[in-house]
Amino acid sequence: MSILIDENTKVVGQGITGRDGAFHTKKMLEYGTKVVAGVTPGKGGQKVDGVPVFNTVKEAVEETGANTSCIFVPHKFAVDAIYEAGDSCIELIVCISEGIPALDMVKAIKFLSDKKVKLIGPNCPGLISPEKCKVGILPGNIFKKGSIGVISRSGTLTYEIATHIVSTGLGISTCIGIGGDPIIGLKFIDYLKLFEKDEQTKGVVLVGEIGGQDEEEAAKYFKEYCKKPIVAFIAGLTAPPGKRMGHAGAIISGGTGTAKEKIEAFEKVGIKVAKEPEEVGTLMSMQI
């Protein structure tokens, strides 16, 4: 098994005719993902690498049965793309777009709360279930199928840690880049719930960073509900307070959200914390 996506996932690419949309659609197709449709208003009837383009998500879903949307739309139009996907019987939205105002995302998430749809992102690299499907911009060649779930707030750090996991002889069930903005869709706890139910997943790697309280909340959830081992890594240990580091959500404010606090929260409930990314695979191999 895996979570959220598999070999039966059917993807519609919103913004497929743009530079990024076209490039990553080709990469998803090469990986084996079933990209069945694209959407760019006014360009319906065209094709991108053999994928039919529609004017609306509703048309694409009705014609192809797409159940997952991957959004490559520029930030000025990305929230409208989320609304459109949420209104079109899509089950999963993966928003790659970055630079969306936080207030706009608050409204979008409230809108989606009344729908049966899950949102990953925005400002995320997407997700991959190795040898089955990838949705987004992750480099598929570095992932190997296995039993370790990965949940990460970082982008490129996700790829590095996945490489270290694979180098120890382990593989990955599903890897998700959840997004680095302060307002996102699914959070650590949501993914932990899914991995806890997944028979393929035997352990979970959680990659956090400074800012917010999501890691601390995940530690509390682990203590109460999780039976599968977790290994964590927190980026930003030397980050100065009050300075944003890379992501919009990676900022320490009011003395909270520091790497030290997050590490202490994990260790308090028995979660092993790697000091360096290359330690993650070794620590996990000792837990499962």
**Domain range annotation of the chain:** 10-120, 139-285
Asked if 10-120 and 139-285 have one fold, the answer is yes
- Domain 139-285 in CATH: superfamily? Succinyl-CoA synthetase domains (3.40.50.261)
pLDDT at 257: 79
Does residue 169 register a pLDDT over 70? yes
Judge whether 164 counts as a catalytic residue: no
Higher-confidence residue of 277 and 250: namely 277
**DSSP bridge pairs for 35:** 11
0.75 exceeded by pTM? yes
pLDDT at 254: 46
Does residue 255 register a pLDDT over 60? no
The fold of the 10-120 domain, in CATH, is Rossmann fold (3.40.50)
Which residue's structure tokens are 């999963």? 92
Q: How many C-beta atoms surround the C-beta of residue 243 within 10 A?
A: 10
Q: Report how far residue 167's alpha carbon sits from residue 164's, in angstroms, rounded to the nearest whole number.
A: 5
pLDDT at 155: 85
Please state which of the ranges 26-40, 43-57, 240-254 shows the lowest mean pLDDT.
240-254
Neighbouring residues of 270: CB distance < 8 A, sequence distance ≥ 6: 223
Tell me the average pLDDT across 261-281.
97
pLDDT at 250: 47
Does residue 1 register a pLDDT over 90? no
C-alpha 252: how far from chain center: 22
Higher-confidence residue of 236 and 101: namely 101
Tell me the average pLDDT across 173-186.
96
- Are 211 and 243 in contact by the 8 Å Cβ rule? The answer is no
pLDDT at 243: 55
Which of 24, 75, 164, 247 is catalytic? The answer is 247
**236 pLDDT tier (thresholds 50, 70, 90):** confident
pLDDT at 238: 62
Q: Which amino acid is at 262?
A: K
**208 pLDDT tier (thresholds 50, 70, 90):** very high
